[in-house]
Structure 1
Amino acid sequence: MRALVLPGPGEAEIMEVPAPKAANGEVVVDVERVGVCGTDVEFFTGEMAYLHQGHAAYPMRPGHEWAGRVSAVGTGVDPRWIGRLVMGDTMLGDGTCRRCRRGRQHLCERREEVGIRGGRPGALAEQLAVPASSLHPLPDEMDAALGALVEPGGNALRAARATRVGPGDRVLVLGPGTIGLLVAMFLRASGAQVHLMGRSGGSLEFARSLGFADTWTGDDLPQAPFDAVVEASNAVHLPALALDRVEPGGRVVYIGLAGEPSTIDTRTLALNDVTAVGVLSASPGLADTVAAFASGEIDPRPLVAATVGLTGAGDVLAGRRPEGAAPGPKIHIDPRRQ
């Protein structure tokens, strides 16, 4: 089968690789749609922390935001999975450790992450093998394009819920990228008053097109009280700004990751009685995200600017937007296309 392989930093090649087989407890999925994520870009550039921590190594096959149809099952797997449209959890715990037994497999020290960690091949390929236990079936109201948005949506849902805000509360989201906009959508659905701060006029204009009128840059952000702040950018200085702008007694949610260490003043955290929450992984939010997308409560489709074939994935990883792309932040890959 064809798959995208990263032989090293700055390199991306379409290669013929052995097609996967469904091992015991696994399924093979015919991949229909994959979202390109900032993590994939960091693997392409060589900046991803896992490369330097020994959790990942070249050559590697990325892709973890995916949807497709089950085409084969291994021993011990219900054959009724065959033909189902599914997406899957990225985080695959060992199933035996203390964290896994407590339902926190996404924090398992020995976990694999599809297309990210532990050598588990990713979804930027014509087929993908994953454990059946990681699958989430997609209802008839959803297609593969929506299915490939569930993984980032699950992260965003968890971040939105971590703010613990409700109707009338003011929330500031830093970073109007895919995750930030999805967080804003979930917060808006909860009745919160959502403000977005970014750098690019284009990204803020796009946010306004989604109905978010309160959009700002760092230069004109109002001195208003925010009951919660969600830091969803990759800027090294914004975690500190998030803490500075939250109301005493409020909550700061950190879901963005900078390429180098960022710092906050814990004196501000303690003296203002602020709660800080970190969010890693969509795992606990996947089922509820599927339900929100299927019901139409959240419509993330406008975030997808373009869909290209597998041979276009290298250009996307290198930061080149497809010709004619809409203004949204997310690019999808359809591995069935050339």
Structure 2
Amino acid sequence: MRAFVLHGPGRAGVVEVEPPVAGPGEAVVDVARVGVCGTDVELYSGELQYLRDGRSRFPVRPGHEWSGRVAAVGAGVDPGWLGRRVMGDTMLGCRACRRCRVGRQHLCEDREEVGILGRAGALAARLAVPARSLHPLPETVDDALGALVEPGGNALRAVRAARLGPGDRVLVTGPGTIGLLAAMFARRAGAEVHVLGRDPATLEFAASLGFAHCWTAESLPSVPYEAVIDASNAESLPARAVEWVEPGGTVVYIGLAGTPSLLDTRALALKDATAVGILSASPALAATITAYADGSVDPRPLIAATIGLDEVAPTLAGTRPPTATKAPKIHVTPTP
């Protein structure tokens, strides 16, 4: 089958590989849609921290935001999965350690991560994953939405951590896919959502989604924010987030800068503020599927274009598909 493979920094292409076979406890999925993520860009550039610390090694087959249909199951797997439309968890814990036993398998020290760490990803015709990682998709959640569940789960966890209620004001920094999804979930929670960005075109797109309060750092009004969700990759914003949040409020960090960010913990303590870090969508995947299924959150406008496998490398290198809108997310259909 055809698969997209990263051979090294800036070296990638579509190659023929052996299709996966479902081992014990596994399912093989015919992949329908895959989202291109910032993590995939960092894998392509060689800047991902996992590569720097030796946890991930080339070659890598990326793709961890996906949807598809179960084509085969291995020994010990309920045959009822066959033919079902699914998406899957990225984080695969060992199931034996203390963290896994208490339900924190996404923090397992020995975890695999689909398309990132130790397990081939979805940028291929077929994908093999543990059946325990699968989540069924209802008919109201199409393939495009299914491939947006993983980033949506990250965003939903960020909003939950922000402890937002009706009438609260939240500032979301970084209007990329995760930031805009967080804005959508915060709006669903009844919050007044403000969006901070740098690029006027990006802020114009955010406004087109119904977010009336879109700002640059220079134009940001001096109003109280009960919570700040930092979904940016700017190393300066983690500290600014503490400046902007109300005393007693919450700062949620879900974006990652390429270099370390400096944060004065005195500012955090003197505001009696709470800081929360978010890694992984795992605990919120089912709730995200429900939100998409009932229409309370519709992230379809975030998809800028859908491309084929042969167009993935230029996309990772920074070339936007010619048909792309101003939206942030690129999707891939691995098979024609």
Q: Same fold (TM over 0.5)?
A: yes
5 Å-filtered alignment, 1:69-218, equals 69-117=69-117, 119-218=118-217
Structure-1 residue corresponding to 2:227 = 228
Q: How far, CA to CA, are the matches of 1:135 and 1:53 in structure 2?
A: 29
Q: Find the residue that maps to 1:44 and give its secondary structure.
A: helix
Q: How far, CA to CA, are the matches of 2:141 and 2:161 in structure 1?
A: 26
The CA deviation string for residues 220-245 of structure 1, in whole angstroms up to 9 with x for no partner, is 11111110000000111110110110
The CA deviation string for residues 85-141 of structure 1, in whole angstroms up to 9 with x for no partner, is 100000000000000000000000000000011x20011111000000000000011
Q: How far, CA to CA, are the matches of 2:74 and 2:56 in structure 1?
A: 26
Greater alpha carbon shift after TM alignment, 322-331 vs 94-103 = 322-331
Percent identity of equivalent pairs: 67
Q: How far, CA to CA, are the matches of 2:169 and 2:144 in structure 1?
A: 31
Structure-1 residue corresponding to 2:333 = 334
Q: Find the residue that maps to 2:28 and give its secondary structure.
A: strand
Q: Find the residue that maps to 2:119 and give its secondary structure.
A: coil
Structure 1: give runs of 5+ residues left out of the alignment.
none
The CA deviation string for residues 161-205 of structure 1, in whole angstroms up to 9 with x for no partner, is 111011111100000000000000000011100000001011100
Structure-1 residue corresponding to 2:43 = 43
Kindly provide the amino acid, as one letter, of the partner of residue 249 in structure 1.
G
Structure-1 residue corresponding to 2:4 = 4
Q: Find the residue that maps to 1:6 and give its secondary structure.
A: strand
Kindly provide the amino acid, as one letter, of the partner of residue 77 in structure 2.
V
Q: How far, CA to CA, are the matches of 1:82 and 1:186 in structure 2?
A: 32
Kindly provide the amino acid, as one letter, of the partner of residue 79 in structure 1.
P
TM-score normalised to the size of structure 1? 0.99
Q: How far, CA to CA, are the matches of 1:160 and 1:90 in structure 2?
A: 20
User: What is the deviation of 1:4?
Assistant: 0.4
Aligned length: 336
Q: How far, CA to CA, are the matches of 1:324 and 1:96 in structure 2?
A: 47
User: What is the deviation of 1:53?
Assistant: 1.2
TM-score normalised to the size of structure 2? 0.99
TM-align CA RMSD: 0.6
The CA deviation string for residues 74-93 of structure 1, in whole angstroms up to 9 with x for no partner, is 00001111111100000000
Structure-2 residue corresponding to 1:281 = 280
Q: How far, CA to CA, are the matches of 1:305 and 1:38 in structure 2?
A: 15
